[in-house]
Structure formats: C-alpha cells, structure tokens
Amino acid sequence: MTDKLTLVLGGTGKTGRRVAARLQERGIAVRIGARSTSPSFDWTDEATWAAALENVDRVYVCFQPDLASPGAVDTMRRFSALAVHAGIKRLVLLSGRGEDEAEAAERALQASGADWTIIRASWFFENFSEGFLADGIVGGSVYLPTDAVTEPFISCDDIADVAVAALLDDGHVGKVYSLTGPRLMTFADAVAEIAAAANRRISYQSVPVDDFAAQLKGDGVPDDYVALIRYLFTSVLDGRNSHLTSDVEHVLGRRPRDFADYARETAATDVWSLAA
C-alpha cells in the first residue's frame, strides 16, 4: 500500500460505510465520497469528481441510484477515464446480478485501463432494516410486486468483506464475483423470519406491479425511481437469479452469513419495534 487515500464512494450508505470502517480498522487512510462530505462527491455533478479523486489510488465504486439507470453507462465511462487520468490504480465496482444494463456499465469501467474487480451482489439483507422495506416491517405490513420468485439475499457485511479483499489483494484483479447468501428465499419467507425474530405479526402481500408503481407515485416518489423499481421487480426478479454461488466462500474462506442470524441480531436492536 502507499500513503495515498482509498476513496469509498457511497461511503455513508449500506455497503460503503462498512467498507470504510473495515479499511480504517486496518490502518488504511480513507476518503468518504458523498454529497455531505468535504470534498463532496455527486454522481450527477461531474465538477465534484476531480477533488474527490485527488491523492487517491484505489476506489470502491458504488453508483447511485443503480447501474441500470438511464445514463449510467456513459457516467461510468467518464468517471473511470477521469480516475485513471488522476492516477487511480484500482477500481472495485459494486454491481447487481442479472442486470444487462449494469453489465454494460461494468464493461465501461473495465475498459478504463485500471486494475478492476466487479462485485455482483444479490438483494441485501439490510434492505429490510436500512432500506426502503424498513417502514413496512415496522408498520407490520409489507406489499411488493413479487410472489414465489426466490432470491439468495446477502449480508452487506459479506459484500464489504469481499470489497476490502478486492481493494487490498492483487489476487482479485480482473475477477467478476457473483455474491449470494447461503440459501434461496422468497420475500414472504424473509418477512416471516423477521416476524419470528421480532416476535411480531408482520404480514406480506403480493400486489400487481402497476398498483405498486401507482402507490409509489402517489407517495411522491420520482418517476425515474418508480421506473427503476418496476424494472427490478419485473425483469431482474424473474427467476434469473434463483441460484447460489460459492464466491463468498472462495474469496473469504467461509460461508456467507445466514438470513436467520441477521434477523435475530437486528431484531435485538429494536429497529423493527413499533416504538422505533
């Protein structure tokens, strides 16, 4: 390692803050890249990129809102080129499994000339406690436009551990990892496990995607985000990701964390209690 910084984009988010904490525990100097930091970093404001990249040699790249979003490929191409021009040696990109559009953004980063690692992750456990599903869990009712399709949910802690390995270990250069948890579950299964761990009644109901999208719009959710959610639930959650991989074990030498452990430990924090 050098005396340069490691930039963690999305460093205040679910995976980014875990990556940053692990690097700092190892004595690695970290710069958090977010709108709220100084220097700030904003994917929609290219004028913020250069300052964030100054004196940096490695970057954890977490794109917002999603690599499948319109314009993401061109944004990734421009950012990667600027990063290499600024002297960045390694780019570790968080991507999604089964997203054709995201793979186009991956290729834009891979063509930059930097050493790269791609991490394609399943749906996060933490979407139920730190993301858009948390309010439904607390309220006791979860409504989603998916029913029997299974997903190998994964812990953000496992993602962060893999990302740190890729940032620090040359053996992961040029690798594409597909990260899954240890078992397949439906969203209803996940909600039921959370209910059991929290000792609460939490219902799950599958709803038509058009009704779900209309509710989001009625709640004031921007149209581009509604379109992204529609895409994820109609295209990505069509069964294409209903299989497990051994990549977490391959990189970390251990099995991925199980959802039941996450549910039990998270319930103990009272984040899902009615008083939370």
Give the start-to-end residue ranges of the domains of the chain: 5-123+155-179+242-256
232-251 per-position pLDDT tens digit: 898 889 999 999 999 999 99
Q: Which residue has the higher pLDDT, 194 or 230?
A: 194
Q: Residue 195 CB: number of other CB atoms within 10 A?
A: 20
Options 3.40.50.720, 3.90.1150.10, 1.10.10.10, 3.50.50.60; CATH of 5-123+155-179+242-256: 3.40.50.720
Q: Distance between CA atoms of 39 and 166, rounded to whole angstroms?
A: 25
CB 24 within 8 A of CB 30: yes
Tell me the C-alpha distance between 142 and 221, whole Å: 17
pLDDT at 106: 98
Cβ within 8 Å of residue 1, ≥6 positions away: 28, 168
Distance CA 240, CA 15 (A): 23
pLDDT one-digit tens code per residue, 126-162: 999 998 899 999 999 999 999 999 999 999 999 999 9
Q: What's the rounded Cα separation, in Å, for the pair 255 and 59? A: 26
> In the prediction, which pLDDT does 276 show?
45
